[in-house]
Structure 1
Amino acid sequence: MINWSEIETVLLDMDGTLLDLRFDNHFWQRVVPDYFANKEGISFDEAIKQLEPLFKAQEGLLNWYCLDYWSEALGIDIVKLKVETQEHIKELPHTRDFLGAIKASGKRCVLVTNAHAESLNLKMQKTGLVEFFDAIVSAHDFGYPKEQQSFWHAFHQLEQFDKSKTVMVDDSLSVLKAADTFGIQYIVAITKPDSAEPPRIVHDYLAVESLGAIQPK
């Protein structure tokens, strides 16, 4: 587990780490295809068939997380649609207690997300979690997603954290591998980012269902 006495900086992902990924999964797998189907006058299944290759082509790229990109590509006001469905935005179990414990410990806590600014702002307003962070950073600020080393080099120039005394928590294994490659000492994977799905099996890193399992005492 984590020796919290050695930690100076805590880097936390947002969706699937702090917030329930159930909202985003439902939004992109049901809400967007349904809206697209109605707009195009096609069936839901046909909409899925047309959207899947578009989504697949952008996986791991910054466009994957860019609401402006998808609004233009699909002819849908994605931000408006997110605002209309925001009541489904929820925190994962133990999120607030964990953040409170980190804040009380005096360690630097930074939200590090691939989320687009519009989505980030909406979720921070909805949850009120903004108060717990010393800094909030979106990959869109740098032009590289967290999956790429270019992001970590640019981010490190900004934050200047000691990699040997830093913990990174995320639900994305590709992001965690990038953080590991960059040299961050403590890597933690969230195995239950979506409350509606069973926990995933993760072998490569310290893996926990929720932040409660690693909360400093």
Structure 2
Amino acid sequence: MTTVANHSAQISKPIIFFDMDGTLLDLAFDTYIWMQLVPKRWAIEHQATLEQAKSQLYQYYVQYQGSLNWYSSTFWRQHIGVDAFAVQQEYRHLIAPRLGCFELLNALQKLDVECWIVSNADQVTLDLKLENVPIRPYFKQVISSESIGYAKDDQRFWRTLQQRYPFDVSQVTFIDDNYAVLDSAKQFGIAQLFSICEPDSSTTRTELNPNYIHLEQLTDLLNYLDDDKSSNIYGT
């Protein structure tokens, strides 16, 4: 089932770009790290209350949101004195795929659809997560925005990505839970765009952007593949 936006176009000969956190993987892990554990560590370091820590860090989060620094473990360690990557390593057992992740990737592999991960996560975080959720073999390219030099929110990301890894925007489908990133991809010319109904299992997304198709389950994406292919996904 899909919700919001009524698009009749089918995906033809696609290259599919997947975001990682909140799309393939449950964003609940990141929410727990950044909204609970990092503030606790900061509060201890600065002899502050948890509420004081959350208030101060929230101001920093808003200030850098959408920039490459926002996604950089190194930046946050230097800026706030908390090693967020070490915290992620400590709680790596909580990293989890979203429902339907492996089912969708197996189906796309059977269809011989080319898939890329295009993530804003910095390289060490990307590697950590793919060590814990073994989906790397499904992807032709696994790209961190850190290696590009710009966040996906920035048009320069898409221009640089295309220069380094040539692709035809008319053949690309992109799935991301972040509306600012989808808006940026749309501005660049990627027309087949999908978002996620509930990227974070620990909370409910209260407002869905009507400009994008939202997938309740990742496997809902298969409804937009060519009928001849999708009818044979499971060898039937």
Q: TM-score range by the shorter chain?
A: over 0.9
Paired residues in the alignment total 216
Partner Cα separation in structure 1 for residue 92 and residue 175 of structure 2: 24
Q: Quick one: which amino acid aligns to residue 18 of structure 2? A: L
1:1-217 counterparts in 2 under 5 A? Answer: 3-4=10-11, 6-199=12-205, 200-215=207-222, 216=225, 217=230
Q: Equivalents in 2 of 1:148, 1:136: separation in Å?
A: 19
- RMSD of aligned Cα (Å): 1.3
Residue-by-residue CA offset, 1:23-66 (whole Å, 9 max, x unaligned) = 00111000000111111111101111221111111011000000
User: Identity of counterpart residues, as a percentage?
Assistant: 30
Distance, in Å, in 2 between the alignment partners of 1:30 and 1:155 is 33
Contact 1:2 1:214 in 2 (8 A): no
Moved over 3 A (4+): none
User: Secondary structure of the equivalent of 1:203?
Assistant: coil
Gapped regions of structure 2 (runs ≥ 5): 1-7, 231-236
**TM-score, scaled to structure 1:** 0.95
Q: Deviations over 1:103-126 (max 9, x none)?
A: 221121100000011110000000
How many angstroms apart in 2 are the aligned matches of 1:25 and 1:171? Answer: 14
More displaced 10-residue stretch of structure 1: 29-38 or 98-107? 98-107
Residue 159 of structure 1: how far off its partner (Å): 2.2
Q: C-alpha deviations, 1:170-209, integer Å up to 9, x for none?
A: 0000100111111112000112100122244220011112
Deviating more after overlay: 74-83 vs 169-178: 74-83
Measure how far apart 1:87 and its partner are: 1.1
Query: In the TM superposition, what is the alpha-carbon distance from 1:2 to its structure 2 partner?
Result: 5.7
C-alpha separation in 1, matches of 2:134 and 2:200: 20
- Aligned partners of 1:210 and 1:53: how far apart in 2? 33
